[in-house]
Each structure stands twice: as C-alpha cells, then as structure tokens.
C-alpha cells in the first residue's frame, strides 16, 4: 500500500450545530495537520466541512473539489485553500478519489453516505485500494454498521466486505 499523504473527508455541509460533531471535525482538521496530511474535501466553508477545512488550512494544504453550480451565489461559502471546479457531482467524487490516498467519513446525510458507499463500491471493484474509515462519533454510524452486518447475514453482502 502506498504512503498516505492526502486524506479526503466526507461530511455534512449543513450548518446545524452539535457540539460533539463540531468538536470532532475541528479535532480531525487539527490531527490531519499535525500528522502532515493534506486535506481533500467537497469545498465551501459550511457545516462540518468548514470546521475540518478551516483548521487544516493553518497547517497543511487544503483542496476543495466543488461543482460549478455550488459556486453560483456562493451557495456553500468560500472554499478554504485551493479550489477545483468540476461540472457534476460524479466528476467531483471521481476527482476526490483520484487525488486522495485515504477516505474518512464523519456525520452527514445522503450526500455523505453516497460518497462513502461509492468509495466502498469502487474498492470492491478494484478501482482503488485506498483505506476507508468512519469516525463514529456518539455512535452515529452504529445503525449503518448494524445494517451492513444484517446484509451479510442475509447473504446480500459477502462476508469480509463489511470490513471494506
């Protein structure tokens, strides 16, 4: 496995504040910077994405990948660090995958889950073999992990894929 230099973080951009998740996002940004990892993320400055990127940019390089439609009327706020504009959400995810060495998912909604599942699917299809992790703050991913276990029990997922 190659050396990890750039971590991609998937998380929500909405502005709802939950102290535990905000603190975790700030802490993750700080840890990435201290350990000399660059950050690749979905761009903008809102929500947890903003928390991670604002802290990380003080210590390391930050790269936001953002669909052009999101830059109209400054929909997600100004991106921290360098910004790459892409045409579509699919192109955004593909670019994030190509430019990252590992993936971390924090609290998020359908967009975050889509990004997480896409990386898992692409790993299973050998499109990449990069590590994927979930930062399970306050048990946020417990229900998802339980579902994955259930899918394995029902033979919908191969045993071992739950660790992808």
* pTM, two decimal places: 0.89
Whether 45 and 74 have beta carbons less than 8 Å apart is answered as no
pLDDT in tens, the chain (164 residues): 578 999 999 998 876 778 889 889 889 988 998 999 999 988 877 778 877 887 777 778 888 898 887 766 665 556 667 889 999 989 999 999 999 999 999 999 999 999 999 999 999 999 999 999 999 999 999 999 999 999 999 998 877 765 65
């Amino acid at each position: 496995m190659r050396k990890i230099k750039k971590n991609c973080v998937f998380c929500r951009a909405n502005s709802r504040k939950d102290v535990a998740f905000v603190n975790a996002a700030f802490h993750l940004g700080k840890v990435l910077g201290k350990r000399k990892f660059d950050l690749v993320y979905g761009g903008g400055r809102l929500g947890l994405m903003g928390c991670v990127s604002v802290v990380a940019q003080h210590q390391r390089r930050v790269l936001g990948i953002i669909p052009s439609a999101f830059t109209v009327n400054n929909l997600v706020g100004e991106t921290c660090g360098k910004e790459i504009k892409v045409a579509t959400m699919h192109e955004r995810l593909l670019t994030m995958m190509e430019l990252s060495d590992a993936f971390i998912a924090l609290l998020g909604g359908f967009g975050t889950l889509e990004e997480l599942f896409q990386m898992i699917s692409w790993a299973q299809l050998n499109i990449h073999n990069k590590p994927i992790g979930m930062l399970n703050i306050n048990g946020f991913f417990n229900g998802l992990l339980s579902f994955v276990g259930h899918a394995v029990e029902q033979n919908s997922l191969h045993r071992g894929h739950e660790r992808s």
